[in-house]
């Protein structure tokens, strides 16, 4: 299949995506800030991996340039890089404050994690990606990056910025597929932090959206913004025009 980097893969959506990839035969480089969480996740992924698929865990923080270099170096050792999934992120200030009260220091941290770090990793990975026959980048985004929700201004502004960076990157590098994907509300620790004390058990598990992501990775859909709710496997006979119409313009 190929080699992928999935950031923030010690839990939640990142771990679910990494599991789907290794089951499908991909080798993955994963990261997480806490080795105590990352190493057990890597062990689970290795147990799930298809024959020949490898799992390399690199503990660290995506805001650290040296760590980003280590991730790309690990992919190089596996043979190259075909897919980068920028999944690691932060909610920012919580409970969610209004923009009139948003602590600017925390906003800077959120932008460093949600915008600067993904671009930095993409920059680091570009030489390997552009050597791949079908280079692909997935930036995990949110409806908060496209809609105005009270309390979600800091997080949403970062996701909107990330989406725009991805759109420009796709124009600058036409051979690179850059997809911004909104997975919808999921039962994750980040989502729980956004709604402290609330029962979020009605939200779907992260694994439920993995088939849509895998279908996207193997598709020829154009660069753009997509919602998982709208993704489905593209039949071979489906025209390029219909695939274009499925893209959601940010």
184-193 pLDDT per residue, tens: 776 556 655 5
Contact (CB, 8 A) for 219 and 234:
yes
> 79: which DSSP letter?
T
pLDDT digits 0-9 by tens, 84-117: 999 999 989 988 999 999 999 999 999 999 999 9
Q: What is the block-wise mean pLDDT of the chain (250 residues), using blocks of 10 residues?
A: 95 95 98 96 98 98 98 98 97 92 97 98 98 98 92 95 98 98 73 61 81 96 94 50 39
What residue has token string 């709208």?
230
- CATH at 85: 3.40.50.720
**Model's pTM, two decimal places?**
0.89
What are the distances in angstroms from CA 212 to CA 181, 199, 217?
A: 10, 26, 9
Q: In terms of residue numbers, what domain contains 139? A: 3-246
Burial class (CB in 10 A: 0-12, 13-18, 19+), 57: buried
Could you count the other beta carbons within 10 Å of the beta carbon of residue 101? Answer: 7
Contact (CB, 8 A) for 136 and 82:
yes
Count of domains observed in the chain: 1
Q: 153: which 2 tokens?
A: 């201004």
């Amino acid at each position: 299949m190929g080699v992928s980097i999935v950031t923030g893969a010690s839990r939640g959506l990142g771990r679910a995506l990494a599991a789907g990839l290794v089951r499908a035969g991909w080798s993955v480089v994963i990261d997480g800030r806490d080795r105590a969480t990352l190493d057990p996740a890597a062990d689970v992924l290795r147990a799930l991996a298809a024959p020949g698929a490898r799992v390399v865990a690199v503990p660290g923080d995506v805001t650290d340039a040296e760590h980003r270099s280590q991730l790309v170096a690990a992919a190089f050792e596996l043979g190259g890089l075909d897919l980068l999934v920028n999944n690691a992120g932060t909610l920012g200030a919580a409970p969610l404050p209004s923009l009139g009260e948003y602590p600017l220091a925390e906003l800077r941290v959120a932008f460093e994690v949600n915008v600067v770090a993904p671009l930095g990793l993409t920059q680091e990975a570009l030489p390997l990606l552009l050597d791949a026959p079908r280079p692909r980048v997935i930036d995990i985004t949110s409806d908060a990056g496209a809609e105005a929700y009270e309390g979600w201004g800091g997080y949403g502004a970062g996701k909107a910025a990330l989406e725009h960076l991805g759109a420009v990157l796709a124009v600058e590098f036409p051979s690179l597929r850059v997809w911004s994907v909104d997975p919808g509300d999921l039962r994750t620790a980040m989502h729980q932090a956004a709604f402290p004390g609330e029962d979020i058990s009605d939200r779907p598990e992260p694994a439920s959206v993995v088939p849509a992501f895998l279908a996207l990775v193997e598709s020829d859909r154009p660069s753009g913004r997509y919602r998982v709710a709208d993704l489905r496997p593209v039949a071979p006979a489906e025209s390029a025009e219909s695939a274009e119409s499925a893209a959601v313009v940010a």
